[in-house]
Amino acid sequence: MDLQVKVGDRAPEFALRNQTGQLVSLKEFAGKQNVVLYFYPKDFTLGCTAETRSFSTNYDEFQKMGAVVLGVSSDSVESHRDFGSECSVSFPLLSDERGQIRRLYGVGATLGLLPSRVTFIIDKQGLIRHIFSSQLNPKKHIKDAIEALRQISN
């Protein structure tokens, strides 16, 4: 996969609606929190459910590390509301229905079909510090994100 952005680049700005319809923008976290931005293929699929539940289960640890988690897929706000409820998420699931943010970050599709699963770690200054991509190992995204945040903190 050839990503648009690379480690060290400034993270592209965006604003998307979350599962409650509220607009969430990347700039609202600038200077305050690190951001774990994860792109996932589709609500209610096996891997995405496992990944989102795992981010949710570990959310306290992310918060203790000064980070917010943002999940992004092309599903609707309504789908995210139901999916977020099923996965007990307490962080924003963002609706990128037209795939604009996915394209902005260069997150393509696996085998040209399934939207890729990619996690970006963005520091408080808005710089991309780590990128992890694994379509078939969704739970590793959480472990990888925690490790990357630890490195930022040191």
User: How do beta strands 67-73 and 34-39 pair?
Assistant: parallel
By C-alpha distance, which of 98, 120, 150, 109 is closest to 26?
120
C-alpha torsion 30→38→142→8, nearest 10: -50
48 is catalytic: yes
Show Cβ contacts of residue 88 under 8 Å, excluding neighbours closer than 6 positions.
53, 56
Task: Given the residues 48, 68, 87, 128, select the one marked as catalytic.
Answer: 48
Q: How many CA atoms, within 13 angstroms, populate the side-chain half-sphere of residue 146?
A: 15
73: alpha, beta or left, given left = phi > 0 and alpha = psi -120 to 50?
beta
Q: Which residues are catalytic?
A: 48
